[in-house]
Amino acid sequence: MKRVSFAEFGGPDVLRLVDAEEPHPGPGQVRVAVRAAGVNPVDWRIREGQFQEVDPIELPAGVGQDASGVVDEVGEGVEGVEVGDHVFGEGSNTYAEFAVLSAWARMPEGLSFEEAAGYPSVMETALRVIGQVGVRSGQTLLVSGASGGVGSAVLQIARDRGVTVIGTAGAANQDYLRGLGAVATTYGEGWVERVRRLGPVDAALDLAGSGVIRELVELTGDPRKVVSIADLGAPELGARFSGAAGSMPEALAEAVALISRGRLHIPVERSYTLADAAAAHIDSRAGHTRGRRVVLV
């Protein structure tokens, strides 16, 4: 089979489309014929070697953790899923023709493979940080960096829970945020004042890592009401950095429920081929994705 692989850490040019041994599922896993793989910032961070000190990998390595596809092998002890089922979920080396998933759910009616591949990781992250920041129905949540993958999920989950969201994004994404039910404003000079004029804020999420923790603490009045997924310095200001993943099966079940009720839709900004994975990484790394990017197989 073909898979995207890299044999040294570095820029997008280290990615190669190579022939590789087909993977097979172990106990509790399934294998899918991949139709699409979600592109996440963590994919290019791993490729650059950013996690080698904390979570080292061996080279050569594959790329990708999110996928949608058709189940074609079922591991020992797995129940409730059959060869031929259309699923989406999380596994390893998903930028490939075949990949092994360790968590999955059946795709809801009407969802394309292309869109399905975009949900797993961002849903897990969004549900985790909404829980950690402790925002309730009737309260207002400020989301810095609201138009990307995680932001798109946060906005819609919060709306479904009766939480008012103020989201910041670039000028081109203001209507996009409004379409997801948020009150929108731009980041950049004067943003704190613009948010203040929109009203009081009960809790805040930093999803972009743009150095705004101090301001988010100021706006909420309490560092314990600020959570970041992208600023490792957040704890120095009393805020929380959220890094440890929560339950993927629960996140997938919630995604299925919300999509089926018409309460969640994350658009795919652009799709790429396996051979063009480097372009997907370049575009993701530029940091202005609206919704999701996926690699189609």
Binding residues for ligand NAP (CB under 6 A): 40-42, 122, 125, 144-145, 147-151, 168-170, 173, 187, 207-210, 229-230, 242-243, 284, 287-290
Task: Establish whether the linkage from the previous residue to 56 is cis, with ω within 30° of 0.
Answer: no
Nearest to 78 by CA among 22, 24, 30, 23: 30
Residue 116 vs residues 51, 74, 164, 254, 294: alpha-carbon distances, Å: 27, 20, 26, 13, 10
Report the nearest approach of ligand NAP to the CB of residue 291 (Å).
8
Using DSSP's 3-state secondary structure scheme, residue 139 falls into coil
Nearer CB in complex with ligand NAP: 69/145: 145
Nearer CB in complex with ligand NAP: 30/140: 140
Burial 279-289 (b: 16+ CB within 10 A, else e): bbbebbbeeeb
> Any idea which residue has 């949540």 for tokens?
141
Contacts for 31 with CB less than 8 Å, ≥ 6 apart: 23, 24, 25, 71, 72, 73, 74, 75, 98, 99, 100, 101
The secondary structure of residue 229, as a DSSP letter, is S
Report the nearest approach of ligand NAP to the CB of residue 147 (Å).
4
Chain centroid to CA 101: 17
Contact between 67 and 40 (Cβ < 8 Å): no
The secondary structure of residue 280, as a DSSP letter, is H
Report the nearest approach of ligand NAP to the CB of residue 30 (Å).
24
Nearer CB in complex with ligand NAP: 140/147: 147
Nearer CB in complex with ligand NAP: 121/140: 121
Report the nearest approach of ligand NAP to the CB of residue 54 (Å).
12
Nearer CB in complex with ligand NAP: 194/288: 288
Q: Which residue is nearest to ligand NAP (CB)?
A: 148
Contacts for 101 with CB less than 8 Å, ≥ 6 apart: 25, 29, 30, 31, 32, 67, 87, 89, 90, 91
Nearer CB in complex with ligand NAP: 42/192: 42
Report the nearest approach of ligand NAP to the CB of residue 27 (Å).
27
Nearer CB in complex with ligand NAP: 164/242: 242
Report the nearest approach of ligand NAP to the CB of residue 186 (Å).
8
Report the nearest approach of ligand NAP to the CB of residue 227 (Å).
10
Q: Which amino acid is located at 258 in the chain?
A: L
Retrieve residue 93's tokens.
């080396």
266, 269, 271, 277 alpha-carbon torsion, rounded to 10°: -110
Nearer CB in complex with ligand NAP: 30/295: 295
Report the nearest approach of ligand NAP to the CB of residue 283 (Å).
9
